[in-house]
Chains A and B, each alone.
Chain A
Amino acid sequence: MKKKDVIIVGAGPVGLFAVHQLGIKGLNAVVIDNLDKIGGQCIELYPDKPIYDIPGVPECTGKELTDKLLKQIKPFKTEFFLNERVDEVRQDNKVEWTVKTNKGNEFLSPNIIIAGGVGSFEPRKLPIKEAEKFEGKYLFYSVKNKDDFKGKNITVFGGGDSALDWALELSKFSKINLIHRRNEFRGAPHTLSELKKLEKEGKVLIKTPCQLDAIEGEENIKSITLKFDDGKVEKINTDIVLSFFGLTMKLGPIAEWGLNMEKKTIQVNSANFQTNKKGIFAVGDICSYPGKLKLILSGFHEVALASVECFKRARPNEKYRFEFTTASKTIQERLGKK
């Protein structure tokens, strides 16, 4: 079990700036995120879109903001646990919380800052009942090791880049059916034209406009039924189903930690962003208080205040001193400037 001053749940912009505000106060932290990358909504939903309302930064994309925040917190050498969802929060003694992830990692700390946005990003599941039964064995929402898919009959669902890229890649050593709900694809045109070429050669089968209606099979998948827009149905044989419908945000386990919640947000005291549980804080999109705005700049303010309360809990025998970064030698040392 790792012991830290603060455990941060969520590596979105607000979780990242929390590292900074804690770091300059001399507190160490770990950051845990279910995504495979750092940056939350900025990196997952709009990496290339410009943001115009970060104070002092007239224009930067979601990716640029994430990179800048990472640079700003570099001096603190914070450890990130990605691809891990925080599942459990429990109190083992009077002052400390234990946090457990779905990978079994445990952390102990007097403070938890929940910067969980709208919840953890998870793949959008296929909307039919049988899907669950085959998930992880014959039906997948991502490709971890493409060698697992050699020499199979694979059906790929989706019209975006992930669907097209994997259809093309796996067609090198497997038979591919590509299914999309409309005739137009969103993915890169050149990938699509490669696939159309393979379709002419009979190596790839493209079916549109249709959607999945059923999956047949007992132990493993035998076939799937597609329903076309005109009502026609068609059964095609397949061993493996790959589905690429992007990610959704699922509040998930956060709802079970005994926190006061309202409409998927956590109620906080806006003086220190503490929840109804002492030592558990909520900041960024996931917190609510009168006047809350779901803006990145609001989240930055929220972590500044929360970090003060975290300091008091992590260093009960020290006095908190308000300091400016321009004037404080201690802060400058922590930032590696002196």
Chain B
Amino acid sequence: MKYERKTFPGGTHIIDYKGFTNSLETVAAEAPARAYIPMSMHIGAPSRPLVEIGEEVKMGQKVAESQGFVSVPAHASVSGKVVAIHRMPIPNGRMVDTVVIENDFRDEWLTPPRALPKSDVEAMDGAAIQAKVLAAGVVGMGGATFPSHVKYVTPQDGKKVEIIILNGIECEPFLTADHRLMLEQPEKIIAGLKYLLRMMNCQRGVIAIEENKMDAFELMIKLTENEPQIETVVCMEKYPQGSEKQLINAITGREVPPGGLPIEVGVLVNNVATAAAIADAVEWERPLIDRIVTLNGNAIKKPMNFRVRIGTLYEDLIAQSGGVIGETVKIISGGPMMGFAVYSTAIPVMKGTSGILVFNEESHVLKRETEGPCVRCARCVDACPMRLEPTTLMKAAKKSDWARAKEYDITSCMECGSCSYVCPSLIPLVQYIRLAKQYVMSKDGNGAVNPFLM
């Protein structure tokens, strides 16, 4: 069958390296001997520990309470005893208070997840669904980790959600976690979307999938055949197709104003994994305690898709996959375009961890040549999905010309990395732009960084 491929202007083609893992069934990773539950797995205020050292906890028990509105609770991913609460690094390098639970390997649930009676689920209204989502600690699982329930507050000033988009694009190279989820648990994703629609009193849901995942697309098409409210669309394989703003543009033709939220154009975007977590929360009252993580990179002996308990250390996962080849020199949390390089392997998998990429010295990902002069080839301009002029921004940054940087809309840069990726002179454009952006934003307002731009 022929389908219309949707896309946005700009962007660039990236070798996707997904072939290693996209056909590998998800494997349940062993539960860790110790689970490390960070108090800050989301954007917003950190949660507050509810347990004390020495306390016995059950699986699914709330170990941290949300503080404030833009915050979520966290739950124990194993049963056992709290042995420590201390600060430790999370993938983005920050130190965060973390509850450490020693696993008794009994996997005793506080309340074993059970399917709620169908009639109960049917009877739930938007507010009830929203409460369930908050209680389960669901956050955006595409990496932004924005607390899900916050997105769903009834929009003010008459703004209505007209379209809910489920993001199944997964445009970062190497990652296949969402792809596997769509193949293995498509019904859950669709159910999650239906709860979202009900919660937002919205009539139109769209599941967007990139064309390098046609198997998932065709499966979704089949499963949504009799769902009048849900439409499945295929998007062109292009980076960053999965970025919220670009996806909205590809599907609706609308553009979110600078600094604004999708709701301003009547759209809400959620990751497919988030939708599945929502279905778990609503139908089973199951908190978010595990997720799929892709383990890949040239140093990994056996690339895998793992279903991992939150709080499992990276090193445990790497060891389980069969270890590494050669000397490990770089580890990336997330994808190679927007992920974080981490400095230790003693870092826990969090709700937003979609992949762990391990590289040895042979990897070309690591090759770092010296930057050359800008040859004004405009490849960065053509690639920028925000239609900025990265070369101009970079030059303004180099000259500390903040006024110029602002004039050329530096704050609209979402640090997607497309410009650096294509630059034939190997100029680290994003690094320059990031610096200038921080400067412009700190001078601009109150010094706080707008989380919606991150």
Check if A and B associate: no
